[in-house]
């Protein structure tokens, strides 16, 4: 392979036909894929979903860990992402362009990617898992695992009142603006991760009903 593509630039510009001979391709195991974007599914109700690719900043590396939560308390769900993959085979090299990402929800199913210096969040290594736990004061502690590296810890500036949902599977939340939100409580999420199974009470909640 070094003889066929002697530089990284040549490798980056090569097509599959440049990397392998016709005979090698004829004998290869082939499958097709057409959609590679890290995306969100938007629930439009009545069992209908639409898939929407996240902004370009979320496509720089594989995403292994996602937390969906309203971190800035503006009423819209935000996304916290972490990724990279150092375990690729040697020919491709590791995928390490992600520094971790906070995506600010705009309330219409789209997101605005924040720079690390804007959000204060960074997980630059071979990040795999994300979890949020809460201290006694109600501050969120974001934990990001990095394979064969240190644990990254960030503390949110917000202080929240949290409620233990006990055996409830989800909550129906009536917002002060008249909208309704359904929030599910998980046992396990992200990549072998588990955030605190808590309901964060936001100021814009009007009524919360816990459901079995």
Give residue-wise pLDDT tens across range 74-126.
999 999 999 999 998 777 788 999 999 999 999 999 999 999 999 999 999 99
Give residue-wise pLDDT tens across range 48-60.
999 999 999 999 9
**pTM of this structure:** 0.85
CB 204 within 8 A of CB 176: yes
Please give the pLDDT value at position 11.
87
Please give the pLDDT value at position 91.
74
Structure tokens at 41: 């599914």
Mean predicted lDDT score pLDDT of the chain? 93
Per the listing, tokens 């100021």 go with: 203
Please give the pLDDT value at position 166.
94
What does the pLDDT average to over 15-40?
A: 92
User: Residue 108 contacts by C-beta under 8 Å, 6 or more apart in sequence?
Assistant: none
| Residue 95 DSSP symbol | B
| Residue 124 DSSP symbol | -
Please give the pLDDT value at position 212.
95
State the Cα–Cα distance between residues 136 and 139, nearest whole angstrom: 8
pLDDT band at residue 135 using 50, 70 and 90 as cut-offs: very high
Structure tokens at 110: 């789209």
pLDDT beyond 80 at 152: yes
State the Cα–Cα distance between residues 12 and 59, nearest whole angstrom: 17
Detail the DSSP E strand segments found in the chain. 39-45, 48-53, 63-69, 78-83, 101-105, 111-114, 127-134, 139-146, 152-159, 161-163, 170-175, 180-184, 199-201, 205-211
Domain ranges across the chain: 33-211
Please give the pLDDT value at position 78.
97
């Amino acid at each position: 392979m070094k003889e066929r593509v002697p530089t990284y630039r040549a490798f980056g510009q090569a097509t599959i036909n440049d990397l392998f001979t016709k005979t090698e391709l004829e004998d290869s195991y082939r499958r097709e894929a057409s959609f590679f974007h890290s995306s969100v599914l938007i629930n439009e109700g009545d069992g209908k979903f639409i898939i929407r690719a996240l902004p370009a900043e979320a496509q720089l590396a594989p995403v292994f860990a996602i937390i969906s939560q309203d971190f800035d308390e503006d009423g819209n769900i935000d996304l916290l992402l972490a990724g990279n993959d150092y375990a690729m085979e040697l020919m491709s090299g590791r995928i390490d362009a992600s520094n971790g990402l906070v995506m600010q929800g705009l309330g219409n199913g789209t997101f605005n990617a924040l720079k690390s210096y804007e959000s204060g969040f960074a997980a630059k290594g071979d990040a795999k898992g994300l979890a949020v736990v809460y201290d006694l004061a109600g501050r969120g502690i974001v934990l990001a695992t990095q394979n064969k590296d240190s644990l990254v810890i960030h503390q949110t500036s917000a202080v929240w009142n949290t409620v233990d949902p006990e055996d409830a599977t989800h909550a129906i939340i009536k917002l002060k603006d008249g909208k309704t939100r359904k929030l599910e409580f998980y046992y396990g999420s992200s990549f072998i991760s588990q955030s605190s199974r808590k309901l964060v009470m936001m100021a814009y909640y009007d009524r919360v009903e816990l459901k079995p």
